[in-house]
Amino acid sequence: MLHRTSRAETLVAAARVGREEELWGALRDLGVQVAELGPDEPLLLGRLRAADELEMPDTCVLAAAAHLRAPVATSDARLAAAAGQMSLRLAASAPD
């Protein structure tokens, strides 16, 4: 599952070389879906962004993981630390 903002963020590098549709198709073929967080999503995002001082794309990752009770897959140390502070499981963690 990806948050809608994370979905767009994932496609940026591919879009720079005109391959975003190809990447999005590959992600869809893998079964990647967009997480729907419900009508209170702006409140959740605002609270998380204020508390963790992460960039919005990382905040969206945390919101989706918290809402879906799913692990966070990241190699970003700050995001991994924020996930740990929220007692979210890590599917991948930042390198030492």
Non-local CB neighbours of 74 within 8 Å, separated by 6+ positions: 61, 80, 83, 90, 92, 93, 94
- Kindly report, residue by residue over 42-55, the tens digit of the pLDDT: 998 999 899 878 89
The total number of structural domains in the chain stands at 1
Range of the domain at 57: 4-92
On whether the CB atoms of residues 62 and 48 are closer than 8 A, the answer is yes
The pair phi, psi for residue 32, each rounded to 5°, is -70, 130
- Kindly report, residue by residue over 14-27, the tens digit of the pLDDT: 999 999 999 999 98
